[in-house]
Amino acid sequence: GQNIDQPTEMTATEGAIVQINCTYQTSGFNGLFWYQQHAGEAPTFLSYNVLDGLEEKGRFSSFLSRSKGYSYLLLKELQMKDSASYLCAGNNAGNMLTFGGGTRLMVKP
């Protein structure tokens, strides 16, 4: 199996930058996904990292270090609508996704 750990909750201020970390066991790992999920809704795809480094998509960026078993999602210029849960998911040796417990982000005015 693959353990994936991320903080349970985070709070940030509108307009600020927040970094959500994710750590995972490295054995049999292929790539790492980030999803956004608003309460009661389906998860939606944000990013997928296979190679080490930072990938930027507008206000959202995702970073991966394979050797350290570490990833983070960086959200810039936070907006109230960014209040949601952010799910880290590993693509394991069997090529199926294993999800972390999710980080609930609350953006305050």
Report, in Å, the least distance between residue 92 CB and another protein: 10
Phi, psi of 82 (to 5 degrees): -80, -5
> Residue 26 or residue 31: which is nearer to another protein going by CB?
31
Report, in Å, the least distance between residue 36 CB and another protein: 11
> Residue 61 or residue 78: which is nearer to another protein going by CB?
61
Burial per residue of 64-83, b for 16 or more beta-carbon CB atoms within 10 angstroms, e otherwise: bebeebebbbebeebeeebb
Cα distance between the two ends of the chain: 40
Chain positions contacting another protein, by CB under 8 A? 8, 30, 33, 35, 40-45, 48, 87, 89, 91, 94-102
> Residue 41 or residue 77: which is nearer to another protein going by CB?
41
Distance CA(10)–CA(75), nearest Å, equals 12
> Residue 53 or residue 94: which is nearer to another protein going by CB?
94
Report, in Å, the least distance between residue 34 CB and another protein: 9
CB 23 within 8 A of CB 69: yes
Report, in Å, the least distance between residue 56 CB and another protein: 16
Beta pairing class for 97-99 and 84-91: antiparallel
